[in-house]
Chain A
Amino acid sequence: MKTILMLGLSLSLLAPLSAQAGAKEDFQKIYSEAKSTHDEAGNFKWTTTASRLSAARSAADDGKYEKAKELAKQALQLAKESVAQRKNQAKVWQNAAIGG
Chain B
Amino acid sequence: MRKRLIYVGLATLALSAMSASVVAASQADIDRGKELAFSRKDGNCLACHKMDDGKLTGTIGPELANMKTRYPDRNVLFKRVWDETQFNPQTVMPPFGRHSILSKEEINRIIDYLYTL
Q: Which residues of A contact B (CB under 8 A)?
A: 74, 77-78, 81, 92, 95-96
Contacts and interface: CB of A to CB of B under 8 A. Distances in A.
A78 B100 contact: yes
Contacts of B68: none
A13 B25 CA distance: 37
Contacts of A95: 89-90
A95 B89 CA distance: 9
> Interface size for chain B: under 10, 10 to 19, 20 to 34, or 35 or more residues?
under 10
B98 interface: yes
Nearest to B101: A48
B90 A96 contact: yes
A38 to B, nearest CB: 14
Interface of B: 89-90, 98-100
B105 to A, nearest CB: 15
Contacts of B89: 92, 95
A77 B90 contact: no
B98 A81 contact: yes
A92 B89 CA distance: 10
Contact of B99 (A74, A81, A92, A96): A81
A81 B100 contact: yes
Contacts of B98: 81
